Amino acid sequence: MAACVVTTLRRFPLAIHHHGNLRNVQLVQNAPHKNASTLLLQRTRSSVQISRPVKTGVCTCTCSQLQKNHGSLKSKEPFLISSNLAYTTSSIFTGMQDQVFKSRSDTIFGSQSLYNGFVVAPLMHAPNSTRSICSSVPLTNIHRNRTPGGASSNQLTGPHLLRGTPSRSLFGLPDRSAWASAIAEAEKIVGYPTSFIGLRCLLSDELSNVAMQVRKLVGTKHPLVKTAKNLVYDGKHNIQTRGLIILLISKAAGPSPKGTDNQSMVRGIYPSQRTLAEIAEMIHTAFLVHKGVVNIRDLLPSDGPRSVMEFGNKISVLSGDFLLASACMGLAKLRNTYVVDLISQAISDLTEAAFMAFSEEGAEPGATGRGQLPLPNLGVADWTRYVYLSSGSLIAKSCRAALELAGHGEEMQKCAFEFGKNIALAQQLHQELQLFTAFNGSPTSFSLTSAPVLLHLEGSGNRDRVSNQTKLDMKKLHREIRAGSAIAKSQDLCRTYAESARLAISEFPQSEARDALLKMVKAVS
């Protein structure tokens, strides 16, 4: 089934560069309205330029619609377009082996992957841009190909994604949840979407080199391919929000109380704070990449040839190291050793989390269970510790560091830390709860180490009863948890975290940045 969903990213122009041997199409979107977007189709082939608006409905249109309106898009193939800043575009299209895709995009890492037949390749065009950052994680679409094992389900959230039809390709609609709209508004406040990796970094020779190498991995089972795909679209809206929260709290805290030193604020945020947000994103990404390193010895024959996996490891290690090294350089240039200390601690915490029982194969929150109960003594306290180490610490310490960079006092810094920590916990718990409370949540896609499960097991006698089963019945467990008190307990816990986060910034002066943060808190409570 051919389908195309064009989602537009709010205020940002969308550019689709489609270099084909049959046509050369450029879609340029200008000034989208809040709901409906207009696409302009420019045919640049043989120097004819036609600019016609395309009615797109609510931020989406299908390939057939495009075709109806414009005979020029002859492709029956589905293609998916995501957007970014004017100079960054991701496009996914499939099945066009003969397409000549000549652009700088070939050389961008993290963005080139072939996932179930889809090439993901953002174009980087920043010839005269002075902006030092770019975003390449737009909100667009997710492609999900149902494999017999259902292995990809862990990347999907939101009920609409679980309603998938078993067609070859399925694009979900953009997440219009409270969380998504909270983010959308928050992004406006900080000026432009949070960076994810510095443009300078993306355009460097080193990463171009990696991108060339990543191509060889396309179509293999190495986790790097999946990570790269998730960088382009992260199902949880998780990747970007890290930086966003840091920027918002920087803005909410306001200017330096000691008077500005040599920095001047841009839209209420110091350049050093923006760099810090960028660094936090880089560190997070580096860890995603490094966690994707596979143990060669544990490979099954079905995972593909050993040499490919070794090669994938090599590229994962190098690209993760590159991101970490760039982050280190960026940190050092902030010229604040306390900030370096904080962020180094956050990196240590991330590695510690990776060594916890939660990170064992298949036990990561969000991963599908393997029919085995987690370690018998794992409780909610461990869950809290794990979530803190694996995501809370980086956000919390970056928030603290952001305020340190502006010269705010210890009190404010502590509040920022508490806020970051609690919103991370609330967000994770909220996400895990979705799988149980959503109208038609899949009864088997939850993780056995998610908080609702652990709370359920802590209930009287539940653990014994469940662990006595020879084969774990996921569906039954799901039913039990829904019927029991664990859900209510989880919701209480989630509200407690959200409340702590709210309280932490209640002393901050009233501002739209603070309101945006509060809205985000509300969305996850």
Among 325, 380, 438, 487, binds another protein (CB under 8 A): 325
Collapsing DSSP to helix, strand or coil, 256 comes out as coil
Rule CB under 8 A: say whether 262 interacts with another protein: no
Rule CB under 8 A: say whether 206 interacts with another protein: yes
Rule CB under 8 A: say whether 356 interacts with another protein: yes
Residue 44 makes CB contacts below 8 A (sequence gap 6+) with 24, 25, 26
Furthest-apart CA atoms within the chain: distance in Å = 75
Rule CB under 8 A: say whether 106 interacts with another protein: no
Among 314, 370, 476, 479, binds another protein (CB under 8 A): 314
Would you state the structure tokens that stand for residue 463, as one six-digit string? 């653990």
Compute the least distance from the CB of residue 67 to another protein, in Å: 43
Secondary structure percentages of the chain, helix, strand, coil, to 5: 50, 10, 40
Rule CB under 8 A: say whether 297 interacts with another protein: yes
Rule CB under 8 A: say whether 3 interacts with another protein: no
Number of residues that bind another protein (CB under 8 A): 48
Query: x/- contact string, 166-205, with another protein (CB under 8 A)?
Result: ---------------------------------------x
Among 333, 465, 475, 476, binds another protein (CB under 8 A): 333
Nearer residue to another protein within complex by CB, 185 or 360: 360
Among 324, 387, 412, 521, binds another protein (CB under 8 A): 324
Nearer residue to another protein within complex by CB, 212 or 266: 212
The DSSP line for 362-424 is T-STTSPP-S----TT--HHHHHHHHIIIIIHHHHHHHHHHHHHTT--HHHHHHHHHHHHHHH
Among 51, 351, 372, 469, binds another protein (CB under 8 A): 351
Q: How far apart are the first and last CA of the chain?
A: 38
Among 50, 332, 375, 381, binds another protein (CB under 8 A): 332
Rule CB under 8 A: say whether 258 interacts with another protein: no
Q: What residue has token string 């916990």?
A: 425
Among 145, 209, 256, 263, binds another protein (CB under 8 A): 209
Among 17, 18, 236, 290, binds another protein (CB under 8 A): 290
Rule CB under 8 A: say whether 298 interacts with another protein: yes
Backbone dihedral angles phi then psi of residue 313, each to the nearest 5 degrees? -60, -45
Nearer residue to another protein within complex by CB, 6 or 389: 389
Compute the half-sphere exposure of residue 8: CA atoms within 13 Å on the CB side of its CA: 29
Nearer residue to another protein within complex by CB, 190 or 347: 347
Distance CA 413, CA 403 (A): 6
Nearer residue to another protein within complex by CB, 352 or 499: 352
Nearer residue to another protein within complex by CB, 40 or 325: 325
Among 22, 151, 329, 488, binds another protein (CB under 8 A): 329
Taking Cα atoms as reference points, which of 95, 315, 328, 352 lies closest to residue 214?
315
Distance CA 15, CA 93 (A): 15
Compute the least distance from the CB of residue 357 to another protein, in Å: 10
Backbone dihedral angles phi then psi of residue 124, each to the nearest 5 degrees? -115, 115
Compute the half-sphere exposure of residue 219: CA atoms within 13 Å on the CB side of its CA: 5
Rule CB under 8 A: say whether 414 interacts with another protein: no
Rule CB under 8 A: say whether 220 interacts with another protein: no
Compute the least distance from the CB of residue 297 to another protein, in Å: 6
Rule CB under 8 A: say whether 415 interacts with another protein: no
For residues 429-456, one letter each, b for 16 or more C-beta atoms within 10 angstroms of the residue's C-beta and e for the rest, the string is bbbbbbbbeeeebbbbbbbbbbbbbbbb
Nearer residue to another protein within complex by CB, 329 or 503: 329
Compute the least distance from the CB of residue 239 to another protein, in Å: 19
Identify the H or E element spanning 81: strand 79-82
β-bridge mates for residue 134, sequence order: 197
Rule CB under 8 A: say whether 296 interacts with another protein: yes
Identify the H or E element spanning 233: none
Backbone dihedral angles phi then psi of residue 449, each to the nearest 5 degrees? -105, 15
Name the one range near another protein by CB under 8 A: 336-344, 423-431, 488-496, 504-512.
336-344
Distances (CA, A) of 91 to 45, 117, 119, 417, 422: 19, 13, 8, 37, 36
Q: For the CA atoms of the chain, what is the radius of gyration?
A: 23
Among 211, 293, 403, 412, binds another protein (CB under 8 A): 293
Rule CB under 8 A: say whether 291 interacts with another protein: yes
Backbone dihedral angles phi then psi of residue 91, each to the nearest 5 degrees? -135, 145
Nearer residue to another protein within complex by CB, 91 or 275: 275
Contact by Cβ (8 Å): 466, 457: yes
Collapsing DSSP to helix, strand or coil, 184 comes out as helix
Among 58, 265, 294, 438, binds another protein (CB under 8 A): 294
Among 180, 308, 354, 474, binds another protein (CB under 8 A): 354
Nearer residue to another protein within complex by CB, 37 or 390: 390
Q: Which residues bind another protein (CB under 8 A)?
A: 205-206, 209-210, 213, 286-287, 290-291, 293-298, 310, 313-314, 316-318, 320-322, 324-326, 328-329, 331-333, 335-338, 340-341, 344-345, 347-348, 350-352, 354-356
